[in-house]
Amino acid sequence: MTKLLQPDLCVIGAGSGGLSVVAAARAFGVSVVLIEKGKMGGDCLNYGCVPSKSLLAAARRAHEMRNATPFGLQSVDPVIDFAAVRRHVRGVIDSIAPIDSEERFRDLGAQVIRAHARFFGKDTLEAGGFTIKARRIVVATGSSPVIPPIPGIDTVEVLTNETIFDVAELPRHLAILGGGPVGVELAQAFRRLGAQVTVLDRGRILKKEDADLADVTLASFRRDGVDLRPNTTLSRVEKHPGGLRLHLASAGKPSTLEASQSTLEASHLLVAAGRRPNVTDLGLEAAGVEFNEQGIKVDNSLRSVSNSLIYAVGDVAGGAQFTHAANYHAGLVLRPILFRAPAKVRPEIIPRVTYTDPEIAAVGATEEEARMLPGKHRVLRWQIADNDRARAEHETEGFIKVIAGTGGKILGVAIVGRNAGELIHIWALAIAQNLSLKDMTSYVAPYPTVGEIGKRVSVSYFEAMTRKPIVRGLLGGLRLFG
- The annotated binding site for FAD is made up of 53, 141-143, 315
Distance CA 213, CA 224 (A): 17
Give the single-character DSSP code of 258.
P
Amino acid in the structure at residue 266: A
Distance CA 400, CA 457 (A): 8
For residue 251, report the phi and psi dihedrals to the nearest 5 degrees: -60, 135
Is-contact 345 329, C-beta < 8 A? yes
Distance CA 266, CA 196 (A): 9
Question: CA-based diameter of the chain, in Å?
Answer: 94
Is-contact 125 137, C-beta < 8 A? yes
User: Cα torsion for 32, 38, 41, 43, to the nearest 10°?
Assistant: -130
Distance CA 249, CA 246 (A): 10
Measure Cα distances from 210 to 11, 400, 433 in Å. 36, 12, 24
Q: Which of 343, 306, 339, 302 is nearest to 320 (CA)?
A: 302
Distance CA 153, CA 239 (A): 10
Binding residues: 53, 141-143, 178-185, 274, 315
Q: Each residue of 399-437: b (16+ CB within 10 Å) or e?
A: bbbbbbbeebebbbbbbbbbbbbebbebbbebbeeebbb
For residue 142, report the phi and psi dihedrals to the nearest 5 degrees: 70, -150
Q: Please tell me the chain's helix, strand, coil percentages from 3-state DSSP, rounded to the nearest 5.
A: 35, 25, 40
Distance CA 38, CA 46 (A): 10
Distance CA 287, CA 312 (A): 13
Burial class for 231, CB neighbours closer than 10 Å (0-12, 13-18, 19+): middle
| Three-state SS at 9 | strand
Burial class for 120, CB neighbours closer than 10 Å (0-12, 13-18, 19+): exposed
Amino acid in the structure at residue 11: V
Binding residues for NAD(+): 178-185, 274
Strands 143-145 and 260-266: unpaired
